[in-house]
Structures are given as structure tokens and as C-alpha cells.
A = this chain, B = another copy of it.
Amino acid sequence: MDTDCCQIEKSGADTFFLYGDLCHAPVIGRLDIHASSYLLCKNGQCAGIFKTVPPEFASVPVLDYGGCLIMPGMVDLHIHASQFAYRGTGMDCELLDWLARFAFPEESRYADPDYAAGAYGIFAEQMRKSATTRAVIFGTIHREATLLLMDLMEKTGIVSYVGKVNMDRDAPPALREPAADLSAFDTFGFVNAAAKRNYRRTKPILTPRFIPCCSDSLLSELSEVRRTYDLPVQSHLSENPGEVELVKKLMPDARFYGDGYDRYGLFGNESRTVMAHCVYSSDEEIRRLLKNGVWVAHCPNSNMNLASGIAPVRRYLDLGMRVGLGSDVAGGQTESMFRAVTDAIQISKLYWRHIDSGARPLTFPESFYMATRGGGSFFGKVGSFADGFAFDALVLDDAVMPTPREFTVEQRLERAFYLGLDQLGIRAKFADGRMIYQH
């Protein structure tokens, strides 16, 4: 059965148990496993893990997923909805070339509401079926198309931030907003229109594309917009050497790439900010990321495909920075966050082997943490089953892939990620205490 309705919501229950093999990573580097246990949901929040149902909850309904893995939903900190349609094509080139040849022409299509409806419909449906319960999403410069994307995301039940992109230079005319003030004005309109739609789980986020596409005047205008609405911010940072060089030329007085955002208040501190990539962040930039509490969206699949390189994630974690994972479709080829988890581990091993033998490879528990609690923290108390955290959960039947072996729950969890069982094995998905998908 495949449905988008909410069984729990229908039944009126906002308090219920999930029963199964519970796995989460409340702190980095450690998996907490509760085999054959009950996870209580109360008013949309996690409210305890129990080996047996306590007498005071005897009347609370139990959703029995015995034998299944139950884990926090995946948090995708960086994905371009508008690039989803061509993912997996045009992979034989580098970032700036790829943007000009593939990303920009595709994004231009979203001026057409019919194209946007078809393309975003496919995107939202794929996200609905995915392991993701929270996402931070790029649209395009087009207000109407981006509002449509928000309508569709709202229906998926996924909790998301969605951004209308701002760009006023270094792009084809169809994607270059005519002036900084008009771009900002359009963003006011976008935020106001979104507010009127009364979404429960879909919020706007300020989205200057990246410094190469944003003049100083535009960033200055957006700074105003941000303050007016107290918006969070998403953008790209130090992804690729060619891009980093370009930023130096375009903004010669910035101390480093991220300083270009920071001087306009678009780089953490009071503005909650997520920056994708940070492959080539200088020491000074890293210190600023840390000081300002900026989230880093590590996007390993994209960093391979666009030949960007390997981000020094071990260093970021050791410094105590906020790091989550992003699929970065369509630099990344897939929306699968399971894939992001294993890609992050794999390229960290290559980094250790070939670049810095002092940077020990990421472990599975660490990468799992980044995809759940690491990115989840951008949304607040999200990404673990600790009391008071948002009840976001993924139920996975790993028996879809047969084995003659016995495995521990830890091994089953690792195996589910490496075998990509988010493609075949998802039984149910919950966000904020609502069932939003079942299969």
C-alpha cells in the first residue's frame, strides 16, 4: 500500500508508540541502540524509550514494526529542487562550466509555470518516498514557481525551508534579475505570499545563490530583507578552486569568501545560516564559520561529481563545528541521504589516505549523526529520539534484502545504508509526530 494520508492523524491519536529496533545518535560518534523497544510520541515529540509499555500508557496505541529498524528521519541540508529533472546527466565537467551548460539553462525553464508544475511534482513525489523528513531547498529566481514548490512540499509532510533564489550578475539574461532592488523587492513579495498560505511545515529561507551571482548591492538589499523577516539564510561557500578565485576577483576587499556574506549579516550569528560545501575554506574562514555558528552542509556526492574535491570534515568535527549532510542534487546525482552518509565516509577514507594521514576517516556512527542530529540542529531539537525532540522517524524493513546471516542491530543499520535500502525498504516515515508516508 502506498498512501500520502496520515493514518495516525486520521485516527486522531497524537500519542502513540512505535515498536521496533530503535537506533539513534544523540551525540556524535555513538549509536544508541534499543532493540525491540517502544518509542513514545506525545504531541509531536519524543517522550521516552521503553522496553515494555509502562502501565500508565497501556491504552496508548502501538504501531508494531517488530523486526524493522526505526531511526530518526534524514535531514538534507542542501538540495536544488530545480535541478532534480536533469540529475545524473552532464557529469563530465566542473562546477562553473556545469552551471553555465546545465544548471542555468534548466533553471530558466521555471519561468514557465507548466514546466515547474510537472518538474516540481516529480521532485516532491520522489522526496515524499525518500528517507528525508527535513530539507533545506533551493528553488529558482522565479517567485511563482517557488511558491508552487512550497505548496507541493507542504503536501509531502516533510518539514522544509524553501528559497527563492537571488542573482543579479554572472548568469544568462533569463536568470539575471534586472536589478538588486527589484530582486529584493521580489523576495519581499515571495515571503509575504508564503506567509499568506499558512503552511504548517514549509518556511521561506533567504537564498542568495553565491557571491559570483550576487552583487554587493544585492547582498546589501537582502540584508534588509533578512532583518525585516528574521529569515534564515542558505548559500554556497568555497566549493571549488575556480569559484574561490572568481570570488577573490569579484570582491577583492573581502578577507575571504565567507567574509563577503558576513559583512552583510548573512553568515550566522543572529541569522541562522547554512553554507554548502566548504571544501576550500581558509583557516580564517573556518574560524569565522565556527565563531558565527554557521552550519556546514557537507555534500560528498556533488563534490565528487563536479570534481570539487574533499572537504576536511574531520577537522570541522574536531573543532566542534555544526556539520550536516546535503544531497546537493543535481551536483549530487540522488536525493538519497543514505547515499550521502556512505559517500561521506568513503571520501573521508580517501582524504585520510591521500591528503592528510592525521585526519582519521569518518565512522558510520559519525556520518549517521551528521545526517540526523548534525543537520537536524538547524531545525531545532531535531534528529534524535531524546526526550523533547521532534518526533521524526523512519521505519525501514531491511529484510527486503535477504541474507543467510545473523547481524546485530548496529550491523543491520550500517548494512541498510551501504545497500541503499532507502530505495526499497521504507515502511513508514513520520515528521513532527505525523505519519507522512507508508508503503
Question: Chain A residues in contact with chain B, CB under 8 A?
Answer: 85-92, 106, 115, 118-119, 122, 301, 304-310, 333-334, 342, 345-347, 349-350, 352-355, 361, 363-364, 402-405, 407, 411, 414-420, 423-424
Contacts and interface: CB of A to CB of B under 8 A. Distances in A.
A224 to B, nearest CB: 35
Nearest to A416: B88
A350 B402 contact: no
Copies of this polypeptide in the complex = 2
Given A91-B345, A119-B404, A333-B418, 9 more contacts: A92-B363, A119-B405, A301-B346, A307-B350, A309-B350, A309-B354, A354-B354, A423-B423, A423-B424
A405 B119 CA distance: 8
Contacts of A307: 349-350, 352-353, 361
Contact of A404 (B118, B334, B342, B411): B118
Contacts of A87: 415, 418-419
A118 B403 CA distance: 8
Contact of A85 (B90, B122, B363, B404): B404
Contacts of A415: 87-89
Contacts of A334: 418-420
Contacts of A349: 304-307
A407 B364 CA distance: 37
Contact of A403 (B85, B91, B407): B85
A354 B355 contact: yes
Contact of A88 (B304, B308, B418, B424): B418
Given A352-B307, A423-B423, A88 B417 contact: yes
Contact of A364 (B91, B106, B342): B91
B414 A309 contact: no
A305 B414 CA distance: 13
